[in-house]
Amino acid sequence: MLPRRLRRTTLWPTKPELLFVAVLACALAVRLGWVAATPHFVPLHDAHDFDRYGISIARFGRFPLGHQAGDHGSLAYRPPGYPLFLGAIYEMFGLGHRIYAARVVQAFTGTAAVALVAAIGWMLWGRMVGLVGAAIAAIYPPLVYVGESMYSEAVFVPLMLASVAAGLMFRRSRGQLRWAVATGVLSGFGVLVRPNAAALAPALLLLVWGVRRPRLSVRSLAAPAITLVCMLLVVAPWTIRNALVLHRFVPVTTELGNTMAGTYNDETRLSPDRPAAWTEPRMTREYSHYYRERGLNDATLDQKLRSAAFHYIGKHPTYLWEVWRWNTARVLDLAGFAESRIGGGTLGVSPGAADAGTMSFWALGLLALGGLLTRGLRRAPVAFWLLPVLWYLSVVFLNAEPPRFRVGMDPFFILLAALAACAFAEWVRAQDPARKLIPSRSQSGSL
């Protein structure tokens, strides 16, 4: 199998730990270098709102009372994970240099994500694939500038990868339940940072199921049950808070209605320049009046927007195909440089950097396609490959602006690319004429 052969190759150094540390040092240096190279960074759009939340938490110990000026009542629009992360940083380092402090801390969370890519590759395919995957992740531009743009992905990506690594450790340990607990806890925190991470739950539950035989036995089903319970227990305090404040069942967030409304409206559907691209629903004919209604709290507004958006889909069912088609092109950076520059602009990234990110994803995608053709692909469980598919489905019908909404898939593309690169390196080594002169064991035994 691929990992055993790679362990014997002379391409692997005698001190892999030193090379791994060097890759992590490079990842941290690249991220800190990006922070230093963009000293005038200003959080925009959602990042600006996250910054406002962090200030409120640091100053007053609570969330702000409205999503934007004119909003109604206590809110649950933003999930709590990332604002609490920023609030803790602002409390520790002060508000004067809060942006710089947050980005420096996020350089370390980004480096943790690189280490987790290495760990996952190592567990599935061996040391070489893990190291190559980490090397790619260390310098891959979208991971760098998304992680330094003060969006929740800076915390979500390492949490997602940690939950996957815990699930793989459960399989390697032959069913030690502490890893099932870790998978559930980490995925629960991931949901509190990025609510659509709940879409990954089926794959994570499958990842910790079936290690014991028979699969339908109580012992086999205990692991996914424990994982699910731990996930729900992590999310439950925030759900209870929402019920007390909003008097409705809101598991995590009230942003789904606003997101749906921004995609399912006439302005977006009929746009000649950016069809099916999310637009601010407050400015649309179908939904603007909802934001002017008095007496609505965050939850009731969300319910009205969701209901109206579903009604719009019912009137225009074929529009779902257009949303899927255009958003698939966007999430894979196939909609052109102009689209990726818009996505980069929301992150505070220059057009040149956005173009570099697009071209780097194209190169990564070609390598990842090669990874799909390797024999080592089968060493990963099906549940592992289900994770990027579920992430894709969680964004493609809502908002798929690159690269931010693809970042949950990028680590899997990176691992596929590393698998392809290592398989190619092994093939090149096998063509070495000097190696062919060395008799195999079977040949030497026949002499």
Give the pLDDT confidence of 383-424 residue by residue, as tens digits.
999 999 999 999 999 999 999 999 999 999 999 999 999 999
d(CA 4, CA 441): 17
Residues 6+ apart with CB under 8 A from 237: none
In this prediction, residue 371 carries a pLDDT of: 94
Tell me the pLDDT band of 213, cut-offs 50, 70 and 90. Answer: confident
**Tokens representing residue 142 in the block:** 């979208």
Q: Say which amino acid occupies 273.
A: D
Is 92 a residue whose pLDDT tops 70?
yes
The arithmetic mean of pLDDT across residues 6-30, rounded, is: 75
Instruction: Phi first, then psi: give them for residue 99, nearest 5 degrees.
Output: -65, -45
**Residue that wins the pLDDT comparison between 96 and 435:** 96
pLDDT at 336: 87
Query: H or E segment at 143?
Result: helix 141-147
Q: What pLDDT does residue 435 have?
A: 57
User: What's the distance, Cα to Cα, between the start and end of the chain in Å?
Assistant: 27
d(CA 66, CA 403): 28
The predicted structure's pLDDT at residue 10: 44
- From the list 121, 115, 114, 142, the residue with the least C-alpha distance to 34 is 142
For 155-202, what is each residue's pLDDT tens digit?
999 999 999 999 999 999 988 999 999 999 999 999 999 999 999 999
Supply the DSSP string of 386-414, one letter for each residue.
HHHHHHHHHHHTT---TTGGGTTTHHHHH
Residues 6+ apart with CB under 8 A from 206: 224, 381, 382, 383, 386
- 295-311 residue pLDDT tens: 788 899 999 999 999 99
Region 421-438: what's the mean pLDDT? 75
How high is the pLDDT of residue 218?
79
> In sequence order, what are the residues at sequence separation of 6 or more whose Cβ sits closer than 8 angstroms to the Cβ of residue 6?
12, 125, 126, 127, 128, 129, 422, 426
Distance, in Å, from the CA atom of 95 to the CA atom of 101, rounded to the nearest integer, reads 9
Task: Supply 37's token pair.
Answer: 């190279």
- Would you place residue 11 in the very low, low, confident or very high pLDDT band (cuts 50, 70, 90)? very low
Q: What is the pLDDT of residues 221-273, one digit of tens each?
A: 999 999 999 999 999 999 999 999 888 999 999 999 999 999 999 999 999 98
pLDDT of 86 higher than 70: yes
Q: Give the percent of the chain with pLDDT over 90.
A: 77
Give, as one character, the DSSP assignment of residue 254. Answer: S
Q: Residues 24-52: pLDDT tens digits?
A: 999 999 999 999 999 999 998 899 999 99
- Provide the pLDDT for residue 316: 96
> Which residues have C-beta within 8 Å of that of residue 277, sequence separation ≥ 6?
268, 271, 326, 330, 339, 401
CA distance 315 to 78: 30
Question: Averaging pLDDT over each range in 105-114, 334-343, 431-440, which range is the top one?
Answer: 105-114
* pLDDT confidence of residue 295: 77
**Is a pLDDT exceeding 60 seen at residue 207?**
yes
Q: Which residue has the higher pLDDT, 8 or 285?
A: 285
CA distances from 91 to 11, 58, 66, 134, 226 (A): 47, 5, 21, 32, 35
Buried/exposed code over 133-147 (b: 16+ C-beta within 10 A; e: otherwise): bbbbbbebbbbbbbb
pLDDT over 80 (residue 426): yes
- Angstrom distance (rounded) from CA 406 to CA 404: 5
d(CA 107, CA 197): 22
For residue 104, count other CB atoms closer than 10 A to its CB.
Answer: 17
The Cα 194–Cα 160 span in angstroms is 10
- Say what the pLDDT of residue 194 is: 96
Q: 3-state DSSP call for residue 269?
A: helix
Distance CA 33, CA 30 (A): 5
Tell me the pLDDT band of 72, cut-offs 50, 70 and 90.
Answer: very low
Distances from the Cα of 6 to the Cα of 14, 96, 117, 369, 422, angstroms: 13, 50, 18, 21, 8
For the cut 50, the answer to whether the pLDDT of residue 8 exceeds it is no
CA distances from 135 to 80, 117, 193, 379, 408 (A): 32, 9, 26, 21, 18
Beta carbons of 416 and 380 less than 8 angstroms apart: no
| Residue 41: strand, helix, or coil | coil
Q: How many angstroms separate the CA atoms of 395 and 199, rounded? A: 10
pLDDT in the model for residue 441 = 40
In the chain, what percentage of residues exceed pLDDT 70? 91
Query: If you average pLDDT over every residue of the chain, what do you get?
Result: 89
pLDDT, residue 433, reads 66
